[in-house]
Amino acid sequence: MNNNKNSTLSVSQRLQSILAKNWAILFTLIIILIFSFTGKRFFQLANFQNILHLSTIYLLLTASETFVIITGGIDLSVGFVMGLSSVLSAKIIELLHAANFPPALSISIGSIVALIVCIIPGLINGVLITKYKVPPFIATLGMMGIANGMALIISEGFPVAYLPRVLPNIGNSYLIYILPGKAISFFSKPKGIAGEEIKELIRIIPNSLIFISIIIFILWHILKNTKFGQHTYAIGGSMDAAVRAGINTNKHLIIIYVLSSFLAGLAGVFYVFQTGIGIYTSFGAMYELLAIAGVVIGGASLMGGKGGIIGSVIGVFLLGVIENGLHLSGVDPFFRYIAVGLILIVAVIIDQSFPDLL
């Protein structure tokens, strides 16, 4: 089918195609350049690490959407499952903490329980979609409402806040702290620092980055190098072909949706670590839509069969850099919404103008 193709492409066409395939990275680099000039304190280690740190949640949600979207489905519930998880874990930690359990124990139990519970929405989604043939949009839409409702019930609409202090400390700390010329310490700030000196403290590598890198790497590996990943693409490319090739698509899809809600649950736990509170997800946050945006910017098609973790990661960073850059440039935050919208459209159009020529 592709016999005649390559020979009819000129050099410039190929160049265009390469540019198009990698437009997201190029664009990110360009705007980093621009923001370096327009943004105060943008081009600094601390700021870049901040971007990474804040992107953690989105990375998890986007990763989960990546799997789902590659199979040609969609998961609208991720944002709200995350809210449920943050609320649930926080509530449990709060209760145990109040009952005088040692922090380490209460945090562990709270987190683990939340993670386990968050498998359930994915399970239900998966069963509805495979066995009952409910379109993914609807199944996850319904689940979104249910998860949201549960989060609200558990938290009664209020943030869950009486958590051990050590939580946000873990969530927000770095691997290496350097007080130039004076001290180096790992995992926590050097002891005995006086007030002024904190300003000079250099922090390197947020803990969250370490965690997230490990998780992303594992997911990338699964998607790219394992049979499971291969089958995921196959189902997205042609469900029919996958079925006829003997793949147990029902089981596979259920696992995909379970994975998705599990990662969302993980995001919720991360959230608690980062902010020290658990809270339901408000409608305005649009986590799932931003996650989907990240995936699409990264090159996935909503039809399925295309996309990857690396692309999605780039998508998340692009969005993160934009938000951060706009903020530091003193631009009204609401331009961010506009920017995301425009970039998304550009992403899709580029994708369509250059179908896989290389």
User: Which spans of this chain sit near another protein (rule: CB under 8 A)?
Assistant: 1-9, 74, 128, 132-135, 137-139, 141-146, 148-150, 152-153, 156-157, 283-284, 289, 292-293, 296, 302-303, 332-342, 344-345, 348-349, 352
The minimum distance between CB 207 and another protein, in angstroms, equals 32
What's the token pair of residue 45? 């280690």
Give least dist CB 311 to another protein, A.
15
Q: Smallest gap, in angstroms, from Cβ of residue 325 to another protein?
A: 15
The answer for 157, left when phi > 0, alpha when psi is -120 to 50, beta otherwise, is left
Residues in CB range of 115: below 8 A, 6 or more apart: 85, 262, 265, 266, 269
Q: CA 335 to CA 326: how far, in whole Å? A: 8
Q: Give 96 or 117: the residue with its C-beta nearer to another protein.
A: 117
Identity of the residue, 181 or 333, whose beta carbon is nearer to another protein in the bound complex: 333
Pick between residue 74 and residue 254 the one whose CB is nearest to another protein.
74
Angle at CA 110, nearest 5°, toward 108 and 113?
A: 100
Region class of 293: left (phi > 0), else alpha (psi between -120 and 50), else beta: alpha
- Measured from the CB atom, is 138 or 198 closer to another protein? 138
Closer Cβ to another protein, 29 or 338, answer by number: 338
Give the 3-state secondary structure of residue 301: coil
Nearest distance from residue 29's CB to another protein, in Å? 23
Q: Smallest distance, Å, CB 204 to another protein?
A: 34
Minimum CB separation of residue 74 from another protein in Å reads 8
Please say which residue, 193 or 357, places its beta carbon nearer to another protein.
357
Residue 346, CA distances (Å) to 27, 296, 340 in order:
11, 10, 10
CB atoms within 10 A of CB 263: 28
Summary count for the chain: helices (H), strands (E): 15, 3
Contact assessment for residue 179 and residue 190, using Cβ atoms and an 8 Å cutoff? yes
Minimum CB distance to another protein, residue 183 (Å): 45
Phi/psi at 69 (nearest 5 deg)?
-70, -35
Based on CB atoms, which residue is closest to another protein, 151 or 259? 151
- State whether residue 202 is helix, strand or coil: strand
